[in-house]
Amino acid sequence: MTAPETSDESARSDAPPGDLAGAPENASARPEPEAAAGEPASDAILTASELYKFFGSGASRFPVVREASLEVGRGRFVTVMGPSGSGKSTLLHMVSGLEPPSGGTVHLDGHDLWALSEKRRTLLRRDTVGFVFQFFNLVPNLTVAENIRLPLLIGAAVAEGGEGDFDELVSTFELGDKLKNYPHQLSGGEMQRSSIARALIARPAVIMADEPTGNISSKAGEEVMRLFRRCCDERGQTIMLVTHNPRDASFADEVHFLKDGELHPEQQLGQGQVTAQSVNASLAVLGI
């Protein structure tokens, strides 16, 4: 398929902008879902259609994501796997509203994401999505406790049971003796555990996770994946994870494979097919 006509994109920044600063002052409540013709099925909380992303300009312009389409059912755990540089973080940023696509559409929780104004898109992210970034994105002048509670303070309303989850999350991630510390006083693993606790505390409908176990121990990483699995099974939350780790991918309901910016549906693994062995087999077929 021929790539859509687009204007030249500027070069990619090293990291996505922080998203926990909340909505603009005096912002209204989040927009109501649309009822436009062609809207995705009601059981799909996220639908991406033929997404493209170009970086650079002129002769150096190149595609990072090409014709990527996928659908994520509500309450499902979906993983996108690929090697470093395959475009999986860029894909995650586009479907979560952090980075605009060069072409294609994204529907999130009934909204045409990139047709919304920036203000309405910010509100939708704030109230619907919890982020776990590869590089933590903790607020440097807040303590660990304040960082974890931040979504409860800036959201439209305190999530039911949210404050009650604080003690459970602190215990799960072994942060009890770090609550008064600031991010610069933490190890990399402690910062990531704090970031994950922050993403989970308000019980968002969707959790977007970018290599969430990359900076923590293998044992802690497995505990994180089991907690994500519980978020799906017990809370009905949707997880979209990007990773290069077959063990992490094996916790998902379905696995998509991304190589050189393209998804490979012929290798997609669905319900009942996902194991570490089947993931490795698909990676081998793709030469990843």
Tell me how far apart the alpha carbons of residues 256 and 72 are, in angstroms, rounded to a whole number: 11
The mean of the pLDDT values for the chain is: 84
Cβ–Cβ under 8 Å, residues 106 and 94: yes
Tell me the mean pLDDT in the region 13-30: 39
Q: How confident is the model at residue 162 (pLDDT cuts 50, 70, 90)?
A: low
Q: Provide the residue type at 10 as one letter.
A: S
Q: Provide the residue type at 46 as one letter.
A: L
Q: Report whether pLDDT(77) > 70.
A: yes
Which residue would you say has higher pLDDT here, 7 or 93? Answer: 93
Cβ–Cβ under 8 Å, residues 218 and 196: no
Tell me how far apart the alpha carbons of residues 189 and 172 are, in angstroms, rounded to a whole number: 13
Q: What is the pLDDT of residues 92-142, one digit of tens each?
A: 999 999 999 999 999 999 999 999 999 999 999 988 999 988 778 899 999
DSSP H or E segment with residue 107? strand 103-108
Nearest one of 228, 209, 239, 225 to 276, comparing CA atoms: 225
Q: Quote the tokens at residue 196.
A: 């994950």
Nearest one of 185, 190, 209 to 199, comparing CA atoms: 209
Other Cβ atoms within 10 Å of 50 Cβ, number: 15
Q: How confident is the model at residue 10 (pLDDT cuts 50, 70, 90)?
A: very low
Cα angle, residue 112 at apex, residues 110 and 118 outer, rounded to 5°: 115
Q: How confident is the model at residue 161 (pLDDT cuts 50, 70, 90)?
A: low
* In the block, residue with structure tokens 């809370």: 235
Q: What is the pLDDT of residues 179-204, one digit of tens each?
A: 999 999 998 888 888 998 999 888 89
Set out the domains of the chain in order of their start, with CATH numbers: 74-101+117-286 (3.40.50.300)
In 202-275, which residue ranges form alpha helices assigned H by DSSP?
218-235, 246-249
pLDDT at residue 2, rounded to an integer: 47
pLDDT at residue 59, rounded to an integer: 85
Cα angle, residue 160 at apex, residues 159 and 162 outer, rounded to 5°: 60
Q: Report whether pLDDT(52) > 70.
A: yes
